[in-house]
Amino acid sequence: MELVEKMLGGDERSLSRLITLVERDSLEVAQIMREICAQTGRAHYLGVTGPPGSGKSTLVDKLTTIARGKGLSVGIIAVDPTSPFSGGAVLGDRIRMQQHYLDSEVFIRSMATRGSLGGLPSTARRVAKLLDAFGKDIVILETVGVGQTELDIVEAADTTLVVLYPGGGDAIQTMKAGLMEIADIFVVNKADRQGADQVVTQIEAMLSLNPKDSYWQVPVLTTQALNNVGIEELYQEIERHRSVLESSGQLSLHRQEQLKKELVRAIEQGVSEQLSRLMERDQNLVALLEKVGRGDIDPYTTAREILSDRAMLKGWLLKLEKEG
């Protein structure tokens, strides 16, 4: 594919066009991902998540500055709320990180959630791989900041930062929905505010009761991103985590699990799309849907009967194959 060849050759315009194709879930996506596969796996994927108001964007901005100072190139996927009018991202990349916008070694892309409840749109992983194949040393994925549900990030990142801040509510309540389990590094940002020490103490107490991994003790760091305080120390911990992952063999294992889950998601998406098309065309299925809608039969029993009827499933698959 010519666009892929140009992108791999360093053409940023081709990269942008490929990202657009991926975001639109175009027919070429499978071919694109197949052609870049051998060029991925070199970048460090850094996930940044946490509740709104914690200063994630400022933190990403400061971490990018340090990475650039070390001569590393950076790709940033900044996930924003979806506009109810255009369907696009509400906040723009020019607004979020102006100082890096003209840096040719920093590529920033704003993406809309498009209804995702896990903090990342379904296409974000593919876009991250494009940035990896393009040659970015670090790919940062910053989630939308919807609160306690942003758990998709662990399936896309090598290192996950969970950013909290004093005054943002009970830290323990914030972590009940799973953020506790996904954090590789906790960051208490805006640490100049009253109550920062208490948040740190709460997190450390919970970590002592429920250690994450035998090979990595999750650190709790304090930062003041706006004042550039504690950012160097945070960056060093990110590098240390990557080093531990590589030396312990966990990075390879983690990425293998990510690929398996990605396969399952791709199959689920494909089956769902085919089933949606079938529901519009197959008269038997349309009749079943109408019965379920009237309450004549319940959806769970009906689903089980359909899945157990192999002849019916085979007939539907053949029909889909004929219709293309």
Query: What are 132-162's pLDDT values in tens digits?
Result: 999 999 999 998 765 444 567 888 899 999 9
Flag whether pLDDT at 233 surpasses 50: yes
Average pLDDT over residues 9-26: 93
Average pLDDT, the chain: 83
- Give which of 319, 249, 228 is closest to 279, Cα–Cα: 319
Lowest-confidence pick of 27-36, 217-226, 271-280: 271-280
* Cβ 287 vs Cβ 312: under 8 Å: no
Most confident of 68-72, 107-111, 267-271: 68-72
Q: Which amino acid is at 72?
A: L
Average pLDDT over residues 229-251: 96
- Give which of 173, 170, 166, 189 is closest to 48, Cα–Cα: 189
Flag whether pLDDT at 86 surpasses 60: no
Flag whether pLDDT at 80 surpasses 60: yes
The pLDDT of residue 151: 65
Average pLDDT over residues 209-235: 91
C-alpha 86: how far from chain center: 22
The pLDDT of residue 294: 87
The pLDDT of residue 282: 73
pLDDT band at 93 (very low <50, low <70, confident <90, very high): very low
The answer for 314, left when phi > 0, alpha when psi is -120 to 50, beta otherwise, is: alpha
The pLDDT of residue 82: 47
The pLDDT of residue 295: 85
Average pLDDT over residues 197-219: 86
* Cβ 108 vs Cβ 97: under 8 Å: yes
The answer for 167, left when phi > 0, alpha when psi is -120 to 50, beta otherwise, is: left
pLDDT band at 71 (very low <50, low <70, confident <90, very high): very high
Tens of pLDDT along 267-280? 887 777 777 777 77
* Cβ 78 vs Cβ 60: under 8 Å: yes
Flag whether pLDDT at 175 surpasses 70: no
Topology (CATH) of 40-248: Rossmann fold (3.40.50)
Flag whether pLDDT at 35 surpasses 90: yes
The pLDDT of residue 148: 45
Flag whether pLDDT at 217 surpasses 50: yes
pLDDT band at 321 (very low <50, low <70, confident <90, very high): low
Flag whether pLDDT at 43 surpasses 90: yes
Flag whether pLDDT at 79 surpasses 70: yes
Percent of the chain with pLDDT over 90: 45
Most confident of 72-76, 124-128, 177-181, 213-217: 72-76
Average pLDDT over residues 298-303: 84
